[in-house]
Amino acid sequence: MGKQDRSVRMSLQTLRTLEAFLENPTDELSGSDVQKRSGLASGTLYPILLRLESAGWFVSRWEAVDPASVGRPRRRLYRLTPSGLARASEVFASFGRGVLAT
């Protein structure tokens, strides 16, 4: 985790994205769900999702549905990894101590 975590820039938008997942860490959220919870614009949200996924905070998978049967494209579902959950918890805990973890 250590080397990957250093590539994540902990901005306010990144914190809001993590906060959306921390409401229920076991949930799998699509980009649209995260946008509804965080209120971020799509141009801001998706690069953050990819950045956190590349750093190992998230894992993603395609929704297990048949697009032809449901009549829409498959959604990409994101979920916090255990290491991502621990790191996100540390980040928010450090906010309580007044120190921003980077």
Of 7, 1, 13, give the one whose Cα is nearest residue 40.
Answer: 13
- The token pair at 100 is 């921003």
- The token pair at 52 is 């956190």
Is residue 87 a contact point for another protein (CB under 8 A)?
Answer: no
Residue pair 61/77 in contact (Cβ under 8 Å)? The answer is yes
In the complex with another protein, which residue's Cβ is closer, 72 or 93? 72
Interactions with another protein, residue window 22-61 (CB under 8 A): 30-32, 35, 41-47, 50-51, 53-56, 59-60
Q: Which residues bind another protein (CB under 8 A)?
A: 3-4, 7, 30-32, 35, 41-47, 50-51, 53-56, 59-60, 63, 72-76
